[in-house]
Amino acid sequence: MKKFQPISELYPHMLHGGDYNPDQWLHMPEIIEEDMRLMKLAHVNTMSLGIFSWTQLEPEEGVYNFSYLDMMIEKIGKNGGKVLLATPTGSKPLWMARKYPEIRMVDQRGYREMTGRRHNHCYNSPIYREKTYEINRRLAQRYGNNDTVIGWHLSNEYANCRTVCYCQTCQAKFREYVKAKYKTLDNLNQSWCTAFWSHTVTDWDLIEAPSDMGEDSVHGLTLDWKRFVSDSYVDYMKSEIAAIREFSDKPVTANLMRNFTRIDYWEMAKHIDVASWDSYPYWHRDDAGIEHADVCFNNDFFRSIKGGKPFLLMESTPSMPNWHDINKLKRPGVNRLGGLQSVSQGSDSVQYFQWRMARGNVEKFHGAVVNHEGSENSRVFREVASLGETLEKLDAIVGCPVESDAAVFYSAENQWALADAQGFNRHNKKHLETIVRHYKQFLDRGINTDIVGYESDFSKYKVVIAPMLYSVSDELIDKIEQYVANGGTFITTYISGMVDKNDLCYLGGFPAGKLKDVFGLWNEEIDSLYPNDSNKVEFGGKEYKAIDYCELLHARGAKVLGSYKEDFYAGMPAVLENSYGKGKAYYIAFRDTGDFLTDFYEGIVAESGLKSSFNGTLAEGVVARSRTDGEFDYVFLLNYRNEERTVNTSAVYTDMETGETRTGEIKLCPFGSIVMKIKK
């Protein structure tokens, strides 16, 4: 695989820095001077500037004042730094919110937001869009060709608010959206199955957004509403980009969020140049590793939505967040561990929220590089500076792709449909958790993994896993069939292949259509178990516990690898393997407690030839991931345990930090990490 261009031609280095809000300190110029000194000491090089600066830039309607940004961009530039310049639209000025009430969101009960807070504007409001366009255009005109500015940070965490907007503008737009999609009422009614409860739509004007005060039982409607909301955000973002593009062709990014489903990021990614995300794990909360696996899953997701292009870790806390219920400090070494983890999976940055701790308000106790004491004499500052020195040695990795032979399917579309489904374990389906548990099987073995969605090309992977693939389009069914027929290995689980893109059940038996041939089975019933229930499955001569879901399948050509031991379906198949064309399809009919997946994937990895680019034996709790420039592999070893770990390798490697060439035993200190350069 070829290297990608650096995110900015102007600055082909690992970015290290974070959100900088000097507008909170303009009355104390000595603080800003001190920031410049400290930034050098912290080995940071890139600041996200202006994220919530709208009132500073437009204190009165139509009156613009860019002096603060002029000053800050110049200062940072002179100090050797670079800027990701934000559009300020994440938070609206109070004067604007008061003067134009229609820009404030309305919730599903019809209440309009008050003037404050952030992110709570109506993204379909023509006035908000007009105001956005004007401020963005002016920013682009003024700074679009400034050498200190390396790219654009669009707004902030789109859709990170209490509600989405249900105002009359949005409702009217939704009706237009539905009309354009279905063309005729007959088509709409068939697609939404509205004969149910006499909800037939007899006039387009009768369509209302779903609401817990109104219609929440028509799944085609709720699904289309979620699509509409997501599309509205994407459309709003596109209008932000259009304003910038009047004067600047520098890359644009939007900071996305972990496991966030209000926006279909696969769609959003089509319009940004670079993906970036904000990572705030619950460090040290769980030792089983699901938390770090989930973070790794997200790193892979944000790389994959841009076709494997390096992404940016846009925010992380250098110490603790403040909005978790319990805000535990990152232990020594963990800032480096988390930062390098992202880099190992394709990030070309480690950025923080934020540079300097706020003096007041809700974020005053959120971790930052510089704390309220204000000097470089803190543990956190030293850890940041030390990671900065490390990142300065990783220029060779900038732009390097991740080579993966395995992929895991994840899409908000599937999540949306599954969330609506009444049945199964209704409120606790654990879709994402299930995906991450399967994904972790590769992570624990040091196997690079991509994430794929409905539109992705599967053909380059040896193995594709799609747990709980509830909603399948006709195109996806064809793609899976072709993939397996051409030699791929495809694995799915319970609650798969059940509904189409309108959330209507497939007739003729599950899984849908020809998936029954691909998997060689028919799924007759799904048993959902109470929390204290369990069954047993025999597989490979061992017995495993089955919890939550047991499907009652009939093999139709598939080889039965495992069967239930108890209850009225004892003897029925629980794990099936089907040879189809040149490939194989596996179906796991039950949820296990962990051991089964470990043993099952041991077999899959051996059979399909999946390999880690770490040539050696990993220790428990140590993650290995890699990037490559085609000539060298850059292999990262990351110890997630608060204990020393020893691993062994037969590879001859160069330690990217010390420059030493070594082989054999590698000792990793508690939470320790190493970056190795290995000839391919």
In the complex, the smallest distance separating the C-beta of residue 317 from ligand GLA, rounded to whole angstroms, is 6
The reply on whether position 519 binds ligand GLA by CB under 6 A is no
- Name the residue number minimizing CB distance to ligand GLA: 278
Q: By C-beta, is 121 or 431 nearer to ligand GLA?
A: 121
Q: By C-beta, is 363 or 376 nearer to ligand GLA?
A: 363
- Selected from 315, 420, 444, 551, the binder of ligand GLA by CB under 6 A is 315
x-marked contacts with ligand GLA along 354-383 as a string, rule CB under 6 A: ---------x--x-----------------
> Running DSSP on this structure, what letter comes out for residue 50?
-
Q: By C-beta, is 80 or 101 nearer to Zn ion?
A: 101
The answer to whether 253 and 272 have CB atoms below 8 angstroms apart is: yes
Q: How far is CA 509 from CA 121, 186, 379, 585, 630, in A?
A: 45, 26, 60, 18, 47
Interacting positions 574-603 with ligand GLA (CB under 6 A): none
Among candidate residues 58, 113, 240, 315, the one labeled active-site is: 315
> Running DSSP on this structure, what letter comes out for residue 235?
H
Q: Binding-site residue total for Zn ion (CB under 5 A)?
A: 6
Among candidate residues 58, 113, 157, 383, the one labeled active-site is: 157
Q: In the structure encoding, which two tokens stand for residue 340, read together?
A: 């390098």
x-marked contacts with ligand GLA along 149-188 as a string, rule CB under 6 A: -------xx-------------------------------
The reply on whether position 92 binds ligand GLA by CB under 6 A is no
Residue 280 contact among Zn ion, ligand GLA, none, beta carbon within 5 to 8 Å by kind: ligand GLA
> For residue 425, which phi and psi values (nearest 5 degrees)?
-95, 95
- Selected from 321, 339, 453, 573, the binder of ligand GLA by CB under 6 A is 321
455 is catalytic: no
The reply on whether position 446 binds ligand GLA by CB under 6 A is no
**Measured in Å, how far apart are the chain's first and last C-alpha atoms?**
12
Decide: helix, strand or coil at residue 271.
helix
Interacting positions 125-144 with Zn ion (CB under 5 A): none
- Selected from 73, 84, 86, 122, the binder of Zn ion by CB under 5 A is 122
In the complex, the smallest distance separating the C-beta of residue 260 from Zn ion, rounded to whole angstroms, is 20
Cα–Cα distance between 646 and 673 in angstroms, integer?
12
33 is catalytic: no
CA angle 249, 252, 253 (to 5 degrees): 170
CA-wise closest residue to 302 among 340, 259, 241, 353? 259
> Running DSSP on this structure, what letter comes out for residue 205?
G
Who contacts 560 (Cβ-Cβ below 8 Å, separation ≥6)?
573, 575, 576
The answer to whether 572 and 515 have CB atoms below 8 angstroms apart is: no
In the complex, the smallest distance separating the C-beta of residue 323 from ligand GLA, rounded to whole angstroms, is 6
In the complex, the smallest distance separating the C-beta of residue 122 from ligand GLA, rounded to whole angstroms, is 20
The reply on whether position 319 binds ligand GLA by CB under 6 A is no
Q: In the structure encoding, which two tokens stand for residue 337, read together?
A: 């561990």
Cα–Cα distance between 528 and 147 in angstroms, integer?
59
Maximum alpha-carbon separation in the chain: 76
Q: By C-beta, is 278 or 450 nearer to ligand GLA?
A: 278
Q: How far is CA 9 from CA 12, 13, 151, 310, 398, in A?
A: 6, 9, 10, 14, 11
Residue 35 contact among ligand GLA, Zn ion, none, beta carbon within 5 to 8 Å by kind: none
- Selected from 159, 170, 369, 515, the binder of Zn ion by CB under 5 A is 170
CA angle 226, 232, 236 (to 5 degrees): 150
Q: Which stretch binds ligand GLA (CB under 6 A): 60-68, 95-103, 315-323, 335-343?
A: 315-323
Q: In the structure encoding, which two tokens stand for residue 40, read together?
A: 């050098």
Binding site for ligand GLA (CB under 6 A): 156-157, 278, 280, 315, 321, 323, 353, 363, 366
Query: Which residues bind to Zn ion, rule: CB under 5 A?
Result: 122, 124, 165, 167, 169-170
Active site residues: 157, 315
